[in-house]
Structure 1
Amino acid sequence: MSKNLYALFQSRFPQDMSADFIKSPDGNNLSYRELDQQTAQMAGALLSLGTQTGERVAVQVEKTKEAVVLYLACLRIGAIYLPLNTAYTADELDYFMEDARPHIMVCTPEKHDKLTPVAQKNSVPHLLTLSNTSTGSLMDQCQGAKPHTDIADVTGDDLAAILYTSGTTGRSKGAMLSHDNLASNATVLHKYWGWVPDDILLHALPIFHVHGLFVAIHCVLMNGSSMWFLPKFDAKEMITLIPQSTVMMGVPTFYTRLLDQPDFNRTTCQNMRLFISGSAPLLEDTFTQFEKLTGMTILERYGMTEAGMITSNPLDGDRVASTVGYPLPGVEARLSQDTSGEDAGVLEIKGPNVFKGYWKMPEKTAEEFTPDGYFITGDIATISQDNRVAIVGRAKDLIISGGYNVYPKEIEQVIDTIEGVKESAVIGVQHPDFGEAVVAVIIADPTQDLKQDDILANLRDQLARFKQPKNIFFLDELPRNTMGKVQKNILRQNYADLYKIVN
């Protein structure tokens, strides 16, 4: 049997192929029959451009059903899908193109002219466009292509996708995920979260990272069921669709914004079976408020780019606030050996979901695994006697804002190039809406009259919006330890109440 992930999905398609896979509020739905036909057509288009098995297809487009078809078409021909955050600037994309050397880069029509020299510089053979109105040169290529109905015969270790995750040094790393990595996670989650034939997912997540692309969409495909597919989160629209759904996956921000809506209540949720939260820590206050208002407890889980989902609170049983539940079936989790005897330590994991390593970084890959094969997550955790995991901190300074990973070093390196900046330190501060907000603390040259707006103006075209600081503070000096290292824990304490809501 083929190890191609698309073959697994195809084997789970419903008997009635006219059933909806994607449901849209405007009625522009996509059936399973159309899905299979359109992935074959898209596969033919990719092949007509000379795409070979194992070549990369980089994609930075808006969330559309065609973007999902493109992902599945890549699986179908054995190409490696490389989704990129829609907020990345041309400067940031230059690195990804240079590193991944994609055969095809797909972008929005608005970005085509700006990316043309970047693609040429990095010898990318084809730069195509895909708009949010189902048009663009990619769709033109599909029109004249011969459908390719075959499914590439790949091994389980062959790569299905590369997802870039920033490093603490500022250099992004491409996490290589195989067909087996993704298939094992999809199979486990489908069973663990108790999917039933009539489930309908409410999907308002982006599809350029693990949560929206793999966790959400894969569960729907494994179930052969439908999902409401929204281009972005809109609280009012969500409230109209929750009564027509049974499962919702979201980041904590989704839940805080729903709770802010006066017409969101227990009646809204009476048809729902499961609310799932991830990508950032869910505050205990949000968990409690949601349960009190709706009568339902949010299921929090924990995952990362390099391994998909790792742990989950149980479907049946206690869902404990501020914990991420138990290791999923097949996943082993432990605390780092050098913290044995302590309450908390760096979480290390092993399982079929764990990635194959970092693209073109064998030394970095080796550093991230223990001698006995456990991946070092970099997250500080506790594990209770009954094996329940709680994430209590991050060993690598990672900030998670609105569900997106933000690495301080990358932002500091950009800020430090601004004229008049002597040094910067970037931290995450707890925020009621985003989970954490990016805050920059700067030492400026006293002869320069630098203001917050000056810094933000410099960052606007260099960093994605979610990486840009929400607040900037100027100090005469940064707190340091005896070794001269900046003590970010002190900065976090000093600004901890910055966004605190006073009742």
Structure 2
Amino acid sequence: MPNNLFHALQDAVKDSQQKRFVTSPSGLSLSYGDFFDLAARYATALQSHGIEKGDRVLAKTAKSIHSLALYVSCLQQGAIFIPVNPLCSEEEMSYLINDAAPAIVVLDPDSSVATDIATETIGPSGTLSKLASKSPPLTEHALSSSEDTAVILYTSGTTGRPKGVMISHRALMANGSALNQLWGFSQSDILLHTLPLFHVHGLFVAMHCAMFSAAEVIFLEKFSVSETIENLAIATVFMGVPTYYSRLLSRGDFTKDICSGMRLFTSGSAPMTEQTHHAFHGRTGHKILERYGMTEAGIISSNPLHGDRIPGSVGFALPGVQMRVSNEERECNPGEVGIVEVAGDHLFNGYWRKPKETAEVFRNDGFLVTGDVGVMDEDGRLRLKGRNTDLIISGGENIYPKEIELHLDDVECVVESAVIGISDDDLGERIVAVIVARGIFSEQKVKEVLENKVADFKFPKEFIIVEELPRNSMGKIQKSKLRDAYNEQAPYEGESRNR
């Protein structure tokens, strides 16, 4: 087995250099040979900046073939790639730069950031891209080991501050090769890629499955119902979040005929309702394959490619993954509800510069405590029941309420707040802020304060004004009561509500 991810990807495509790899609606089309040549030129450009093995490259860029090539160039260089959401706010970006301490920050040409660290831009008019176009391809390969960190992905924590999840070459190779075999990928596949590149789902699950099998990728810059319907007719595999599927189903021109060449639809990053699962099957004849994963562990379990795909179930542990359901004292029996715990080569290396937080999520026997509540049947099939954290998953994005609450509570007209997720047919969950107001509540004031502090997708869709927040005997806010109460209310009509 290759000793790092770059060598593994090179080996996988060594006999497919002339084969088409990736195409985009902009007209850019690259073979595998052309793509790795582009990545090698970016590696030379990074080297000219003094980037060495172990240095961190933070990229806040829109999804593009260039940003994908930058990722692979970091693998070749032995640098640690840190992709961040291009929608993150100035304050969020400042925190990420201070925490990650990158050697270079890469942005889109129309972006800027306040930092003393070297910055470059990427894309057709980008400064780093122009430098790469004039540079020879790097022929050297860093001698990264399988245990070295390849990528750091930032994920929000219950404290409100994101934590850097260090993901090794070992973990990415183990997960990628397992999924490639489990889902039956081959050179003849054409993956329709509409996911972002700053998540496990889009960067690792989708791209690694394609590259490990030398498959072709139709590379859309973002999910668009119209573009997706247009390209499904020539694709064989589609990966999405539940919101993508509900939006496809809302279109009358999304028909069974359009999906006639498809062999696989997968869904993850958020729970899918049984209604969506059944409606999609009824419309297209395809049963969506649901799987389960997290940033710290990659993909943990999956429904089978061949066999029953049961709505509400996330299937069986992947090959090489140990999975159990436990309570504080023991491993649960089949049918008992507990916390999902996992072990295997797919696990992360730890949280960047946070050894205490890392130790807190591992058992003494090396199992990672996922924080997800689940139940396993006698056959080993897992069903998730919820989360033992306040995490909100809206439109496939992970959002921790504390991050929003810290800013809401600073607003003059807010005494205190509780941010919760409410069931939503389109987004899975929509963000609702329950507010104890000081005087007259002003949604405009809140918008002004939050504008540059949180990304747009984290902004509450609804504000509910209450006299007090429910608390237990220890004074802790009982968010479960808020979720239960407001999930039963009528759909939101766009105005703040008093309760």
Give the CA deviation at 1:156. Answer: 0.5
**Equivalent residue, structure 2, for 1:267:** 257
Question: Which stretch of structure 1 is more off in the superposition, 427-436 or 333-342?
Answer: 333-342
Q: Deviations 1:84-115 (Å, cap 9, x if unpaired)?
A: 01110111011111111100100122221xx1
User: Is 1:332 matched up with 2:325?
Assistant: no
**Equivalent residue, structure 1, for 2:496:** none
Map of 1:188-203 to 2, 5 A cutoff? 188-203=178-193
**Equivalent residue, structure 2, for 1:456:** 447
> What SS does the aligned partner of 1:390 have?
strand
Map of 1:223-238 to 2, 5 A cutoff? 223-238=213-228
Map of 1:20-419 to 2, 5 A cutoff? 20-112=20-112, 115=113, 117=114, 119-120=115-116, 124=117, 126-131=118-123, 134-338=124-328, 340=332, 343-419=336-412
Corresponding letter in the other structure for 2:79: A
> What SS does the aligned partner of 1:53 have?
coil
Cα root mean square deviation, aligned: 1.5
Q: What TM-score results when the alignment is normalised by the length of structure 2?
A: 0.96
**Equivalent residue, structure 1, for 2:6:** 6
User: What's the % identity of the aligned pairs?
Assistant: 44
> What SS does the aligned partner of 2:187 have?
coil
Corresponding letter in the other structure for 2:121: T
Give the CA deviation at 1:146. Answer: 3.3
Question: Which stretch of structure 1 is more off in the superposition, 248-257 or 9-18?
Answer: 9-18
Corresponding letter in the other structure for 2:6: Y
Q: Aligned in 2, Cα 1:26/1:173: closer, same or farther, shift over 3 Å?
A: closer
Distance in 2, matches of 1:215 and 1:430, equals 26
Give the CA deviation at 1:494. Answer: 1.4
> What SS does the aligned partner of 2:68 have?
helix
Corresponding letter in the other structure for 1:492: R
Q: Is the 8 A contact 2:413 2:442 kept in 1?
A: no
Distance in 2, matches of 1:85 and 1:135, equals 21
Corresponding letter in the other structure for 2:420: I
Runs of 4+ in 1 over 4 A off after TM superposition: 498-502
Distance in 1, matches of 2:357 and 2:342, equals 17
Corresponding letter in the other structure for 1:386: D
Distance in 1, matches of 2:324 and 2:490, equals 34
Give the CA deviation at 1:455. Answer: 1.6
> What SS does the aligned partner of 1:325 have?
strand
Instruction: Name structure 1 gaps, 5 residues minimum.
Output: none
Q: Deviations 1:329-365 (Å, cap 9, x if unpaired)?
A: 1101111242636721111100110001101111111
Distance in 1, matches of 2:21 and 2:490, equals 41
Q: Aligned in 2, Cα 1:180/1:499: closer, same or farther, shift over 3 Å?
A: farther
Q: Is the 8 A contact 1:56 1:102 kept in 2?
A: yes
Give the CA deviation at 1:20. Answer: 1.2
Give the CA deviation at 1:499. Answer: 6.5
Distance in 2, matches of 1:493 and 1:383, equals 25
Give the CA deviation at 1:16. Answer: 4.1
Distance in 1, matches of 2:219 and 2:303, equals 25
Aligned residue pairs total: 490
**Equivalent residue, structure 2, for 1:442:** 435
Distance in 2, matches of 1:380 and 1:387, equals 15
Distance in 2, matches of 1:363 and 1:429, equals 32
User: Is 1:430 matched up with 2:423?
Assistant: yes
> What SS does the aligned partner of 1:110 have?
coil
Q: What TM-score results when the alignment is normalised by the length of structure 1?
A: 0.95
Distance in 2, matches of 1:99 and 1:25, equals 36
Distance in 1, matches of 2:121 and 2:288, equals 38
Give the CA deviation at 1:498. Answer: 4.8
Q: Deviations 1:235-290 (Å, cap 9, x if unpaired)?
A: 11111110100000000011001001111111111100000000000111000000
